Amino acid sequence: MSRFFSEKRKNLIPYTPGEQPKDIKYIKLNTNESPFAPSDKAIEYASEASKSLNLYPDPECKILTEKCAKMLGVDYDEVLMTNGSDEILNFAFMAYCDKDHPAYFPDITYGFYSVFANINNVPYKEIPLNKDFTINVNDYIGINKTIFIANPNAPTGIALCKDEIEKILTSNPDNIVVIDEAYVDFGSESCVPLIKKYDNLLVTQTFSKSRSMAGARLGFGVANKKIIQDLNTIKYSTNPYNINKMTMAAGIGVLEDESYTQKNIKTIIETREFTKNELKKLGFDFPDSAANFIFAKHNKISGEKIYLSLKEKGILVRHFNKEEIKDFNRITIGTKEEMETLISTLKLILEE
């Protein structure tokens, strides 16, 4: 740390992204990326857009926003495109949290929430999950706080149904409830239609998972248009050109190739169910995931040992040191072949 670093930033503990090693070629099952290449249309449009990189991108992100709104069945002014969904989540902390509106979220969830709270000087409380890692909806009823819930939750993969989220929304009418749907496409119910009914709901989604665009950084928020106005105020006060030209063009390409996205989602869900079956046969336990990952533990070998042995054999999964979940590894669903290799490698490790 330099001697110039501001007093107010000195104690920040930044988010730790999953490893992106470049030394050897791993089977990468550690950051919930899609194993499939982006749509050909996305590649073609991005490449075309690269020819005019001398010019700034459209700050309004008009064409992409229009297409995204159409895909979601909402109005143009109910959507804001952002640099990954991380950006819209940060905007939500900036816009809707302060000392009178602290942030409440589960104690086991997306690790960035507490980081966003800290950098924005927002007090926060982490609400313990039930023993089986489910969210106890009653903990969020009428609490009058700004609420962040990943649905399905990460790293557990467990989803709440829309009715349960509606209970949280109706009982906190004077507070914003953010539903982070980064993994919604893999089998849970989206709350997007509820934005017409609840003016306190912000839903966030991403192009990073089901749309194979993690490297392009594209996400969005969907909400009542007044909320989108607030978030635009934050955007134009931080980074008006938050979506670069190539990403904008690629995003348009992805949305014009919806059948490719749907085909990949179907394959990932099938591969997830195959992997669940195989892991069960090997004696692993895991909550029933509705996401593109499985959060699994073995009762004979520690989570850390499994993580290290897999890494040594060329497979990366995500291990967290946090006490309550240190027995687990979060395993991203890759291609069928990758998951077959994972299973045969786990067999070897269990026999060792």
Quick one: which of 34, 133, 180, 317 contacts ligand PMP (CB under 6 A)? 180
Q: For ligand PMP, give the closer residue by CB, 87 or 257.
A: 87
CB of 84 to ligand PMP, least distance (A): 3
251 is an interface residue for ligand PMP by CB under 6 A: no
Q: Which tokens in the block code for residue 221? A: 């928020």
Cβ burial, residue 291 (10 Å; 0-12/13-18/19+): buried
- Contacts (Cβ under 8 Å, ≥6 apart) of 167: 137, 141
Structure tokens at 81: 């495109």
Q: Please tell me whether residue 85 binds ligand PMP under the rule CB under 6 A.
A: yes
Q: How far is the CB of 121 from ligand PMP (least distance, A)?
A: 21
Q: How many CB atoms lie within 10 A of CB 348?
A: 10
Q: Which residue has the tokens 């670093």?
A: 5
Query: Among 214, 301, 343, 350, which residue sits at the site for ligand PMP (rule: CB under 6 A)?
Result: 214
Which residue number has the CB closest to ligand PMP? 84
Smaller CB separation from ligand PMP, 91 or 110: 110
User: CA dihedral defined by 30, 90, 117, 108, rounded to 10 degrees?
Assistant: -30
Say how many C-beta atoms besides its own lie within 10 A of residue 55's C-beta.
7
Give the position of tokens 């903990």. 139
- Minimum Å gap between C-beta 214 and ligand PMP is 6
Residues 154-173 within binding reach of ligand PMP (CB under 6 A)? 154
User: Is residue 268 a contact residue for ligand PMP (CB under 6 A)?
Assistant: no
What is the per-residue DSSP string for 15-79? Answer: --PPP---SS--EEESS---SSPPPHHHHHHHHHHGGGTTS---TT-HHHHHHHHHHHTS-GGGE
* 182 belongs to the binding site for ligand PMP (CB under 6 A): yes
Q: Is 185 in the site for ligand PMP (CB under 6 A)?
A: no
Among the listed ranges 66-74, 84-92, 114-122, 336-344, the one in contact with ligand PMP (CB under 6 A) is 84-92
Q: Is residue 126 near ligand PMP by the rule CB under 6 A?
A: no
Longest dimension (CA), the chain: 59
Q: In the set 84, 106, 221, 334, which binds ligand PMP (CB under 6 A)?
A: 84
Nearest-approach distance from CB 111 to ligand PMP, in angstroms: 8
Cβ proximity to ligand PMP, 87 vs 349, nearer residue? 87
What are the residues facing 315 on neighbouring strands? 27
Query: 285 - beta bridge partners?
Result: 297
CB 218 to ligand PMP: min, Å: 7
Which residue among 57, 219, 253, 287 contacts ligand PMP (CB under 6 A)? 219
Size of the residue set binding ligand PMP (CB under 6 A): 12
Do residues 171 and 141 lie in contact, with contact meaning Cβ atoms separated by under 8 Å? yes
Interface residues toward ligand PMP, by CB under 6 A: 84-86, 110, 150, 154, 180, 182, 206, 208, 214, 219
